[in-house]
Amino acid sequence: MLSALGTFTIGDAMFDEVEQVILREMERSRLPGLAVALVKDEEIVWSKGYGLADLEAGLPVTPGVVFPVWSVTKPVVATAIMQWHERGAFALDDPVNVHMGAVKLQNEWEQQTPVTIRHLLTHSSGLPVALAYPLGSSFSSLEEYVGAVARTVRPAGEEVIYADWGYAVLGHLVGRFAGCPYEEYIHENVLDPLGMRSSALTLAPAGASLAAGYYVSGADGKRYRSDFRPDAGAPGPAGSLYSTAEDLARFLIAHLNGGVRDGKRILRKETADEMKRVQAPTGPAWRGMGLGFMVDEVGGRRLFWHAGNGPAGSTFICGSCEENVGVVLLINLANAETARSAIVHSALHALAADGRDTPVGTSQDAWRLPPAECERLTGRYISNLWARAELRADEGILTLRTHPGGTIDPVEGVSYLERIGEGRFRVHDGGFGGWELTFEFDADGTANSFVGGVYPFLFRRSGDVPPAATLDADLAGRWAGIVSSPMGPVPVTLDIMDAERGSVTALSAQRAQLQDFSARNGHLSGYFEVAVGDLGDWTVFLRLASIGGELQGRAYARSGLAEMPMDVELSRE
């Protein structure tokens, strides 16, 4: 039923529409549970839980259930660092190493292009895409962690590359300015003033009802429980916050309301506004990174948001200052990109209730394009955030599929593109559903890249759409290549003796026989066990096909913590 909080009421019919989308997506994406909160005009106008927070225990989700919110931690850390900016502790364009103390950010371009605090906030520092939690590593302090991982791989300001390590540096700075651990400062100066009593930057608050986490395996399609839990240790500022839908709604209200909620001000209005202004464009000038938030214009509506993706959940906060509305969504299933986009955009439409984000041309017949237009857009694309995508044309309708290339990427789903302008498309369904994409073109009119989506980063064209698998290919022999892992490229050698016997060499030259092995009809499947240093034992499932004379597909590395999908490309030796 509708919440009694505040004076704004969503009409019954409009709320029914949002709830129907939620129920549809819970079934379609097999979501264990979720919590949602909607805000308008400084109030939480509706909040509700659906499904189960813990399948095994039968614990239902309520708006008060605590979830790890993953990278939604980042705008909270950004808010804390901007408080110190207001106090004059630094200028946004100060070289960060001026304020780092004994530990420095390692940057070979420091003399020509020093990394600034603005660069860190906007993911344009030149730090690489990498796991916030380096595999097989342990650190005694945030300072030690920063000293070990904060090393640039390109000049600052060259490109927006999503870098968890940059927020570890920002958390370190918060602690240095405050003279206490960053999490202690954030509790006292952000969470407590906003009444976020069920939130914590350590393990979940004592006595809290905590949502368990789950993922659907790309190897076998089954749903598994994940034991992974972030903590406030070394990589904490990138994604260690635990919170509830209603607590995050209070944080969102403060940002919608110029930095204040219920008379408690955490930022000046001009600072809160500056955080939601594009500071580092990605594609069109209206799209890119603010200070701790992504910023874009979708359906004529200017939005700011941040997503969270982890091995055991998917989260989102989003607001429109123009209408003073916002949405918080917490899901306890990893890679729930399709469901997340559908629910968020349905809720925004309900809150604004002005029709501006209503999809144009909802019939697929209206999405068809001439063959020549399709030809210049279709192809394979690789993003600067691990993901790969294929854009195909099916009877004139453009379909976009994303292939998981790392733990942050969406599960594979189909999105449909509707042209709304030259090189500009509205997307229906899939992980990009509800968002807009813009394409850039070479002189001959062929698309070379596109930008947009929940993570509005760059996808560069890497080639033509691959052919179908060669079903009569002889797979016997030795194959070698790489697995694209979050640790970087991992060399792999695969020996196929016959249709039922194969072995693999990977990770420190460990050789293993492939179990449950099959190499028939141009396809290969099997699995092997491998020990990975301090991370313990993993099971790696191979799902490959003969495409264009190569073996291509994915490896799914599974442990009790998570499953990591990784692209595989092998050539015959």
Q: What percent of the chain has pLDDT over 90?
A: 73
Report the DSSP pairing between strands 488-498 and 501-506: antiparallel
In this predicted structure, what is the pLDDT of residue 12? 59
pLDDT at 135 over 90: no
Q: Is the pLDDT of residue 2 over 50?
A: no
Helix and strand element counts for the chain (H, E):
10, 32
pLDDT at res. 11: 55
Quick one: average pLDDT of 498-512?
A: 85
Q: Which of 35, 36, 24 is nearest to 60 (CA)?
A: 35
pLDDT at 534: 67
Nearest by Cα to 98 from 121, 85, 82, 114? 114
Type and span of the H or E element at 414: strand 414-421
Q: Using an 8 Å Cβ cutoff, are 235 and 486 in contact?
A: no
| Average pLDDT over all residues of the chain | 90
CATH, domain 477-572, list 2.60.40, 1.10.3470, 2.40.128, 2.70.50? 2.40.128
Distance CA 566, CA 560 (A): 17
Q: What is the pLDDT of residue 467?
A: 86
Q: What is the pLDDT of residue 359?
A: 46
Query: Is domain 12-71+182-352 annotated with CATH 3.40.50.1950?
Result: no
Over the stretch 78-93, which tens digit does the pLDDT of each residue have? 999 999 999 999 999 9
- Tens digits of per-residue pLDDT, 200-224? 997 777 778 999 999 999 899 999 9
CATH 2.40.128.50 fits 364-463, yes or no: yes
pLDDT digits (tens, 9 = 90+) for 436-476: 999 999 999 999 999 999 887 899 999 998 888 888 999 99
> What's the start-to-end Cα distance of the chain, in Å?
63
Residue 211 CB coordination number (10 Å): 28
Domains 364-463 and 477-572 share a fold: yes
Per-residue model confidence (pLDDT) at position 93: 98
DSSP 55: T
pLDDT tens digits for 529-540?
Answer: 988 766 678 899
Highest mean pLDDT among 89-103, 190-204, 525-539: 89-103
pTM of the model: 0.94
Domain ranges of the chain: 12-71+182-352, 77-178, 364-463, 477-572
SS3 of residue 179 by DSSP:
coil
